[in-house]
């Protein structure tokens, strides 16, 4: 189970950790934390040293109800940051977190190695053809609506079968266009209630039927801090608990704010599994 990132083959049969580097003023946990070039480089260096296989960089906050921004503003946040990180850490495998094909194109031209799209091509019809032409791995997430509307779109007959059927259709579309490396992200917290999030996690091993690697993005989300009646800032221990469950259910990539703890999760899981 390997993906090709700019000629580097990454084996996902050993779970990998993706560190979140938000270049946004309003992300739910770390929005506004990285104000300067020095902040960005310090955080990138820390995550790489702690064992992140990928850095996921985004300039558009997708938290529920986040402000919509222009493509130009998104680019002005994220493209200089990608250049900066690659200048200082040229081996870094950067994932561009965007649902806009123009941003994906520019980011990959700048050196990004993966496209991570919260809408799996639904919010921009040019996204999948662009990714196919760029020949980079494509992370497809499940959501409904937009970050502005998704909180109201949680009405499913059966959340598991509907999400799986969505992926079957999206994978077929991507394959028909010639995208080779696909990764599925169930989209915890995106157009789903807390109960629905736990239902998906409970049945996560069924996503293996899609026959593509699986990314779990659980880090500090509301399903953790609301369940524990706490805050995102206090949700690291809960995140570790859910990341461990996700690994046991077959997750290949953990997308996290806290790399060291997630890498430790993987090591403990491997010791347990061997």
Ordered DSSP codes for 184-227:
EE--TTSS--HHHHHHHHHTGGGGGGG-S-BEE--TT-HHHHTT
Which two three-digit tokens encode residue 55?
């850095």
Q: Is 221 a catalytic residue?
A: yes
End-to-end CA distance of the chain: 18
Which two three-digit tokens encode residue 201?
């996690």
How many helices and strands, by DSSP H and E, does the chain display? 9, 10
Identify the active-site residue in 170, 255, 260, 267.
255
Identify the active-site residue in 144, 220, 221, 249.
221
Q: Helix or strand or coil: residue 124? A: coil
Q: Is 83 a catalytic residue?
A: no
Sign of the C-alpha dihedral, residues 104, 100, 219, 249?
A: negative
Length of the chain as a residue count? 274
Kindly tell me the burial class for residue 66, based on how many C-beta atoms sit within 10 Å of its own C-beta (0-12, 13-18, 19 or more): middle
Instruction: List for the chain the helix, strand, coil content (%; round to 5).
Output: 45, 15, 40
> What number of other Cβ atoms are within 10 A of residue 103's Cβ?
27
List residues with catalytic annotation: 221, 255
């Amino acid at each position: 189970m390997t993906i090709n990132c700019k000629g580097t083959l990454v084996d996902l049969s050993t779970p990998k950790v993706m560190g979140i580097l938000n270049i946004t003023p309003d992300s739910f946990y770390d929005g506004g934390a990285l104000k300067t070039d020095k902040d960005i480089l310090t955080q990138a260096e820390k995550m790489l040293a702690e064992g992140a296989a990928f850095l996921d960089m985004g300039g558009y906050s997708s938290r529920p109800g986040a402000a919509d921004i222009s493509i130009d503003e998104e680019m002005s946040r994220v493209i200089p940051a990608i250049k900066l990180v690659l200048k200082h850490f040229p081996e870094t495998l950067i994932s561009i977190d965007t649902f806009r094909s123009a941003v994906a194109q520019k980011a990959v031209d700048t050196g990004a190695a993966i496209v991570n799209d919260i809408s799996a091509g639904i919010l921009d019809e040019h996204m999948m053809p662009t990714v196919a032409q760029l020949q980079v791995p494509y992370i497809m997430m499940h959501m409904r609506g937009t970050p502005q509307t998704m909180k109201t779109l949680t009405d499913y007959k059966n959340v598991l079968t509907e999400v799986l059927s969505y992926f079957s259709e999206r994978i077929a579309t991507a394959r028909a266009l010639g995208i080779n490396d696909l990764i599925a992200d169930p989209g915890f917290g995106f157009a789903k209630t807390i109960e629905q999030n736990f239902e998906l996690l409970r049945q996560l091993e069924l996503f293996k039927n899609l026959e593509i690697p699986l990314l779990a993005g659980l880090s500090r989300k509301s399903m953790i801090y609301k369940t524990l009646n706490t805050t995102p800032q206090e949700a690291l221990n809960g995140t570790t608990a859910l990341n461990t469950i996700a690994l046991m259910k077959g997750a290949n990539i953990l997308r996290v704010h806290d790399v060291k703890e997630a890498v430790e999760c993987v090591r403990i899981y491997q010791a347990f599994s061997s």
